[in-house]
Amino acid sequence: MASHRKAFTLVELLVVIAIIGILIALLLPAVQAAREAARRSQCTNNLKQIALGLLNYHQTHNRFPPPGFSSNQASWLVVLLPFIEQKPLFDQFNFKQGNYLDADKIRVAATAIPIYFCPSSTEETDRRSGYASEVYPPGSSTRVYTAHYFGVLGPNGTNNYLNPPAAYKCNGLTETFGGYCSQGAFFYPSGVDIASVRDGSSNTLFVGEIAWPDMPYYRAYTRGYFTDNRGTLLLFTKNVQYPINSRNTTTWNNTSFGSLHPGGVHFALVDGSVRFVTQYIEQNVYMALASRNGDEAVTMP
């Protein structure tokens, strides 16, 4: 008698395919969560290195760097380079030239600094400025690099922790760029020393993420300052006025902090630690943490 080989029936095959599909559906979120956890860990490490570099800068110069420099338009991210093991690149920057489009400055901006990028972000180049000359080499289509970590200028709004409530004041014209606040860990034009952080270095926001897609104000990380009759623009420092992840770009200096990390952003504090701050933080608490000397009775949540 002839033997017959057993084979899968169509129903059995469909059941197997369905089971495999279910397993994949269960596995993918776990894989994605693991990848995001790794990205968050890397982002935290980046901010720790930046904060440590700023503390070493303070040890050398007896104060933190200002947001930018009017004489050469450099950003604080440039003067930080020697303190994050980028001294050769720092030496290439032309501090004697005032225009940010100087060829030496663009050449520096064409070099990526890995710790200036949040690994969850999709935007690394200054490809939105519209300036044909802001490329390197000249005439190429290669954009210069931006950064995803911005200093905290201070709060902009009302201090509800004082009685009576007082306004957090910002300097400068506000029609176009927004003012620049003076109560944060970054202060224009001189920078501040750590002794002036009266609210406590472990309770004062220092550097945070702006790393969300389609943010229109990404520029070369070397640019820190611009001014005209509309006001003063401090490119890599921001006021805390709008909620985390609100993606507000009403004015340059008030662009909201935000990221692609689910639920909030990372901030380095003045003591060098890094905390994840939820986007659901009470706005009054958020603004109080952005001031260095407001004497508010709040602590990091």
Q: How confident is the model at residue 47 (pLDDT cuts 50, 70, 90)?
A: very high
pLDDT(9) > 80: no
Q: How confident is the model at residue 103 (pLDDT cuts 50, 70, 90)?
A: confident
Question: Does any domain span residue 148?
Answer: yes
Percent of the chain clearing pLDDT 90 (strictly above) = 46
Q: Which domain holds residue 175?
A: 14-290
pLDDT digits (tens, 9 = 90+) for 58-68: 999 999 999 99
Q: Could you give the CA distance from residue 285 to residue 160 in angstroms, rounded to a whole number?
A: 9
Mean pLDDT across 294-300? 84
b/e sequence 120-138, b meaning 16+ C-beta within 10 Å:
bbebbbbeebeeeebbbee
User: Of 13-17, 50-54, 72-76, 118-122, which one has max mean pLDDT?
Assistant: 50-54
Q: For residue 158, count CB atoms less than 10 angstroms from its CB and return exposed for 0-12, middle for 13-18, buried for 19 or more.
A: middle
pLDDT(298) > 60: yes
Question: Does any domain span residue 8?
Answer: no
pLDDT of amino acid 268: 98
Q: Which amino acid is at 48?
A: K
pLDDT digits (tens, 9 = 90+) for 121-149: 877 776 555 555 566 656 666 678 889 99
pLDDT of amino acid 118: 94
pLDDT of amino acid 104: 81
Count of domains for the chain: 1
pLDDT(86) > 80: yes
pLDDT of amino acid 277: 97
Radius of gyration of the chain from Cα atoms? 23
Question: Does any domain span residue 7?
Answer: no
pLDDT of amino acid 186: 95
If one compares 96 and 36, the residue with the highest pLDDT of the two is 96
Question: Does any domain span residue 262?
Answer: yes
pLDDT digits (tens, 9 = 90+) for 153-201: 999 887 777 767 778 878 876 667 888 888 999 999 889 999 999 999 9
pLDDT of amino acid 249: 83
pLDDT of amino acid 197: 96
Question: Does any domain span residue 111?
Answer: yes
Q: How confident is the model at residue 32 (pLDDT cuts 50, 70, 90)?
A: low
In this prediction the pTM is 0.86
pLDDT of amino acid 136: 62
Lowest mean pLDDT among 29-43, 129-143, 225-239: 129-143
pLDDT(265) > 60: yes
Q: Which amino acid is at 177?
A: F
Percent of the chain clearing pLDDT 70 (strictly above) = 87
CA quadruple 170, 171, 174, 176: dihedral, nearest 10: -110
pLDDT(34) > 80: no
